[in-house]
Copies of this chain bind each other. A is one copy, B any other.
Amino acid sequence: MKHARKELVFDTPERRAYLNITPEVQAFVRESGIEHGLCLVNPMHITAAVYVNDAESGLIQDYDDWLERLAPHEPISQYRHNNGEDNADAHLKRQLMGHQVVLAITDGRLDLGPWEQVFYAEFDGRRRKRVLLKAIGD
């Protein structure tokens, strides 16, 4: 069995950002030499999510509006976690979007449907964050 590990690093200038990281994950899989296996894509921080969906700017704005409606940033005082912090909403938003994804590797490549793109969703940016890539297979 082969295995590979890599960290991607992000530091977004905005509090919230949605970054298409499909090329980086694809490159990692290629470098791993794994032909058939599974690849975990997991934010190492708890105020960010990794999800799979469409690389379409209108949809990304829809996600952002919707997450703000279901888990609003303000008023900050509505959350008990915001005791010296202001990022409680980011912990909630990341659960809504699904936290992490596992991707299939087939014939040495990510086995994605026609519109599946891998996104890093930052909900508490303006600091250094990491995403863990871990692949196993043959």
From B44, B51, B71, A113 is in contact (CB under 8 Å) with: B44
What number of A residues sit within 8 Å (CB to CB) of B? Answer: 58
A95 and B96 form a contact (CB under 8 A): yes
Q: A134-B104, A137-B1, A137-B3 are in contact. Are A58 and B38 (CB under 8 A)?
A: no
Q: Which of A59, A92, A97 has the most CB of B within 10 A?
A: A59
A52 and B46 form a contact (CB under 8 A): yes
Q: Give Cα A39 to B138, complex, Å.
A: 15
Tell me if A's interface is mostly helix, strand, loop or mixed: mixed
Contacts of A8 in B (CB 8 A): none
Q: Which of A96, A97, A112, A115 has the most CB of B within 10 A?
A: A96
From B57, B92, B113, A46 is in contact (CB under 8 Å) with: B113
B115 and A45 form a contact (CB under 8 A): yes
Q: Give Cα A38 to B70, complex, Å.
A: 32
